[in-house]
């Protein structure tokens, strides 16, 4: 019984650890996408999109530094979707 409990706890800790790394990785990936978008399309972005991306990146980096990876992911995802919507003529309501 003790071995089953130890195995269960070990698996639970491993799953949590993997999820934490996945969140951090997604945050980092999204930050890199924002950097790439600003670098490659920066001057072609319309309607203040570049400024909004830069602000979202700054806020996301602050959240990441504070250890709030969910906030980092949410901010970067919203910024990337908004930039995509604006570039496609969708207005980017976010």
CB 91 within 8 A of CB 61: no
User: In whole angstroms, what is the distance from residue 77 CA to residue 81 CA?
Assistant: 6
Sign of the torsion formed by the C-alpha atoms of 60, 66, 69 and 74: negative
Question: Residue 92 pLDDT > 50, yes or no?
Answer: no
pLDDT at res. 26: 92
Q: pLDDT digits over 14-30, tens only?
A: 555 555 566 668 999 99
Average pLDDT of the segment spanning 47-51? 83
Question: Residue 55 pLDDT > 80, yes or no?
Answer: yes
Per the model's pLDDT, the better-predicted residue between 84 and 2 turns out to be 84
CB 51 within 8 A of CB 36: no
pTM over 0.75: no
What are phi and psi for residue 48, nearest 5 degrees? 75, 15
């Amino acid at each position: 019984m003790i071995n089953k409990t130890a195995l269960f706890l070990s698996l639970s800790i491993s799953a949590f650890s993997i999820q934490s790394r996945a969140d951090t990785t997604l945050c980092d990936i999204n930050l890199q996408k924002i950097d790439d978008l600003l670098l490659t399309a920066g001057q072609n972005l319309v309607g203040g999109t570049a400024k909004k991306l830069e602000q979202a990146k700054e806020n996301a980096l602050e959240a990441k530094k504070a250890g709030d990876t969910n906030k980092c992911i949410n901010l970067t995802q919203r910024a990337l979707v908004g930039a995509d919507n604006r570039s496609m003529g969708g207005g980017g309501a976010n």
